[in-house]
Amino acid sequence: MDTALQVYDADDLCGVSCIADGPDAWFAEAVLDHGGRLEVVVPAEEYRVGLVDRLIAVWDGQPARGYGGTADVVAYARSTGVPVEVVWPDGATRDQK
């Protein structure tokens, strides 16, 4: 995840996350560690994707567990032409805390 964020200038980096436990929180922490800003939103794929120029999805490639999960957000972004980069930390598991 850190590698994916290194290409962005901290002053221009604004992460959008619902900061749910797990990958959403990992992403939020990585954005802040890189010096970027964080915008916290209510989970809803259309709302989150509508705010971004590019989607960096912290995703294991598995189906969503419920409406608005990462799989749904990635699919929606791709369907609307938003560039998507999928990252998954080495050794991470979906239910890791």
What pLDDT does 45 receive? 56
* pLDDT 10s digits, 11-65: 989 888 888 778 888 889 999 999 999 988 766 656 667 778 888 888 888 887 7
pTM: 0.61
Q: Which of 24, 10, 96 is nearest to 58 (CA)?
A: 24
